């Protein structure tokens, strides 16, 4: 009784007494509130049941998340079991239903226990814990807040294993710190893939040994004629490291045979007529093609793909294949099959936009559906898994509505509700859940020049795509999501990001 009185009498009424009202995004599978709270104190510790590098890394991540706004020490202790007043992280692979990214979170009045089969699952569960702290937790300086976590249990694991976003660093170049900020957003909402669009007509962004002009010339500009830029291999490795620390896989994309003007402008010999075109700073598409008849083209591709494979630990290599209007159809098909052999010889699985389905791919190759449902269906019938990125639903560069200055509108306007109200497994009747690897929302950057503009287009729509990838379609509901998003608005405010305040959301 005293405890109950304590709750109602506490003058600093904590944010929630009801775990089920915490408004977590993406929505967890199962939440059971017990109506009380766990009091975080200055001497609350993070305890880990294994002294492994992975667990120490995760505990360190938690500490650096919670230290700035709480001002507490967050000592990390290796101990077998949970103890009063502390947050215990534990790996115990005896919960097969959780899979490798699932977790079970128990918040009792006197302790917090986060359990998972693997570190990846702990990392996803930490994002949930982060959303149970009051929004002030996002601040960078100690806040005078009574840090209480609502009690109860959460059992959670993702629907799709591929939940990602693509960042186009070719149309406009973004320095490493902007890519890291992008990775932080993905991590916060339990996404696990960053697809980097590293080359296009307007720019080549990754240093390739033996082909220095790709970056010296191809990386020297961008849409609008700015100075462009590129990642050295060291900088690219730093991006990959930062992503891996957050259990996010990088998928590099070198778009080919089309979308290659930057490479063609850098090396005359890659052009069929041996003449290098000018660098291009406009926004047209479909006018460029590697010369598919020349052997040097395949030596070039081998060098690029082998070096990029070496630099990228993930299983995938994206070779683009979209809008190759300047490549003869039969040449295109021969080319894609030859590149597929190069990719698989490097031990990677090929990914490409849906046009590659015309090439009769190995069933292991993955097709990313963006525009061209017939090719998507052809891929599914061919046994290829699909990444669902339908442009009229998932393209983050689409304007919200006619008043949005940033972005494009060729695939239509995508307000926050339209971004949320669809599901990959019902998008096309011919494509079932078993054909789908997951979902990915691309940000093309023809009109995006800096982080603030990025934030405006990406947030809050990214949160909806994160939920589409993580939460079962049966639990998806716009009426429920929009209230959770409204509630989450405080957090976006505290993060200081330039998010779009849609009129459709009753922001708190």
Active-site residue list: 323
Q: Could you give the CA distance from residue 325 to residue 333 in angstroms, rounded to a whole number?
A: 13
Q: Could you give the CA distance from residue 317 to residue 341 in angstroms, rounded to a whole number?
A: 12
Least distance in Å: CB of 329 to ligand IFG? 18
176-204 burial code (b ≥16 CB/10 A, e <16): eeebeebbebbbbbbbbbbbbbbbbbbbb
Instruction: Please select the residue that binds ligand IFG; options are 323, 358, 392, 417, rule is CB under 6 A.
Output: 323
Least distance in Å: CB of 408 to ligand IFG? 5
The reply to whether omega before 257 is within 30° of 0 (cis) is yes
Least distance in Å: CB of 499 to ligand IFG? 21
Contacts of 254 (CB under 8 A, 6+ apart): 198, 199, 206, 304, 305, 308, 318, 319, 320
Handedness of CA 186, 188, 191, 193 (dihedral sign): positive
Can residue 370 be called a binding residue for ligand IFG (CB under 6 A)? yes
H/E element, 156 = strand 148-156
DSSP string, 402-422: TT--SSB-TT----HHHHHS-
Least distance in Å: CB of 213 to ligand IFG? 23
Q: Could you give the CA distance from residue 11 to residue 467 in angstroms, rounded to a whole number?
A: 35
Can residue 222 be called a binding residue for ligand IFG (CB under 6 A)? no
By the 10 Å C-beta count (0-12 exposed, 13-18 middle, 19+ buried), 3 is classed as exposed
By the 10 Å C-beta count (0-12 exposed, 13-18 middle, 19+ buried), 468 is classed as buried
Q: Which is nearer to ligand IFG, 157 or 204 (CB)?
A: 204
CB 288 within 8 A of CB 282: no
Q: Could you give the CA distance from residue 14 to residue 40 in angstroms, rounded to a whole number?
A: 11
Least distance in Å: CB of 409 to ligand IFG? 9
Instruction: Please select the residue that binds ligand IFG; options are 408, 475, 486, 495, rule is CB under 6 A.
Output: 408
Between 380 and 399, how does the x/- string for binding to ligand IFG read (CB under 6 A)?
Answer: ---------------x-x--
Q: Could you give the CA distance from residue 508 to residue 488 in angstroms, rounded to a whole number?
A: 8
Q: Which is nearer to ligand IFG, 106 or 327 (CB)?
A: 327
Q: Which is nearer to ligand IFG, 171 or 487 (CB)?
A: 171
Q: Could you give the CA distance from residue 470 to residue 186 in angstroms, rounded to a whole number?
A: 12
Instruction: Please select the residue that binds ligand IFG; options are 138, 222, 253, 322, rule is CB under 6 A.
Output: 322
Between 337 and 356, how does the x/- string for binding to ligand IFG read (CB under 6 A)?
Answer: ----------------x---
Count of residues interacting with ligand IFG (CB under 6 A) = 9
Query: Angle CA(239)–CA(343)–CA(215) in degrees, nearest 5?
Result: 50
H/E element, 301 = helix 295-311
Q: Which is nearer to ligand IFG, 152 or 257 (CB)?
A: 257
Instruction: Please select the residue that binds ligand IFG; options are 444, 456, 470, 499, rule is CB under 6 A.
Output: 444
Q: Which is nearer to ligand IFG, 207 or 322 (CB)?
A: 322
Least distance in Å: CB of 389 to ligand IFG? 8
Can residue 285 be called a binding residue for ligand IFG (CB under 6 A)? yes
Q: Which is nearer to ligand IFG, 7 or 408 (CB)?
A: 408
Can residue 332 be called a binding residue for ligand IFG (CB under 6 A)? no
Can residue 400 be called a binding residue for ligand IFG (CB under 6 A)? no
Q: Which is nearer to ligand IFG, 351 or 380 (CB)?
A: 351
Least distance in Å: CB of 187 to ligand IFG? 25
Interface with ligand IFG in residues 13-72 (CB under 6 A): none
Interface residues with ligand IFG (CB under 6 A) are 285, 322-323, 353, 370, 395, 397, 408, 444
């Amino acid at each position: 009784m005293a405890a109950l009185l304590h709750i109602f009498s506490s003058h600093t009424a904590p944010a929630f007494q009801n775990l089920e009202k915490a408004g977590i995004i993406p929505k967890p599978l199962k939440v059971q509130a017990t109506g009380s709270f766990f009091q975080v104190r200055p001497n609350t510790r993070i305890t880990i049941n294994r002294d492994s590098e992975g667990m120490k890394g995760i505990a360190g991540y938690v500490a650096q998340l919670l230290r700035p706004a709480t001002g507490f020490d967050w000592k990390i202790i290796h101990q077998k079991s949970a103890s009063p007043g502390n947050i215990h992280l534990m790996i115990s692979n005896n919960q097969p239903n959780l899979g490798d990214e699932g977790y079970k979170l128990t918040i009792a009045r006197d302790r917090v226990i986060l359990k998972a089969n693997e570190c990846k699952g702990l990392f996803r569960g930490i994002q949930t814990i982060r959303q149970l702290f009051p929004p002030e937790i996002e601040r960078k300086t100690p806040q005078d807040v009574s840090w209480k976590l609502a009690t109860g249990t959460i059992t959670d694991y993702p629907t799709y294993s591929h939940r990602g976003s693509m960042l186009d660093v070719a149309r406009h170049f973004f320095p490493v710190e902007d890519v890291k900020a992008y990775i932080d957003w993905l991590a916060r909402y339990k996404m696990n893939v960053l697809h980097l669009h590293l080359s296009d007509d307007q720019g080549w962004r990754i240093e390739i040994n033996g082909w220095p002009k790709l970056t010296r010339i191809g990386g020297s500009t961008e849409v609008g004629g700015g100075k462009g830029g590129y990642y050295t291999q060291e900088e690219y490795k730093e991006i990959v490291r930062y992503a891996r620390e957050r259990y996010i896989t990088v998928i590099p994309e070198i778009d080919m045979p089309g979308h290659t003007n930057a490479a063609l402008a850098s090396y005359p010999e890659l052009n069929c007529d041996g003449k290098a075109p000018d660098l291009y700073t406009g926004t047209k598409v479909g006018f460029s093609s590697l010369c598919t008849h020349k052997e040097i083209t395949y030596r070039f591709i081998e060098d690029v793909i082998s070096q990029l494979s070496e630099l990228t630990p993930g299983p995938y290599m994206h070779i683009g294949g979209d809008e190759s209007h300047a490549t003869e159809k039969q040449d295109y098909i021969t080319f894609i099959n030859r590149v597929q052999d190069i990719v698989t010889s490097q031990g990677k699985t090929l990914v490409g936009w849906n046009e590659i389905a015309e090439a009769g791919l190995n069933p292991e190759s993955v097709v990313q559906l963006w525009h061209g449902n017939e090719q998507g269906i052809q891929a599914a019938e061919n046994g290829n898994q699909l990444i669902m990125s339908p442009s009229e639903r998932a393209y983050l560069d689409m304007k919200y509505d006619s008043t949005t200055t940033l972005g494009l509108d060729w695939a239509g306007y995508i307000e926050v509700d339209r971004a949320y109200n669809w599901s990959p497994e019902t998008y096309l009747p011919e494509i079932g859940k078993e054909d789908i690897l997951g979902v990915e929302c691309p940000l093309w950057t023809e009109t995006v020049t800096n982080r603030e503009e990025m934030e405006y287009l990406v947030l809050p729509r990214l949160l909806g795509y994160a939920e589409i990838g993580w939460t079962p379609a049966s639990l998806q509901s716009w009426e429920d999501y929009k209230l959770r998003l409204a509630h989450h608005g405080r957090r976006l405010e505290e993060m200081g990001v330039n998010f779009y305040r849609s009129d459709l959301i009753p922001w708190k």
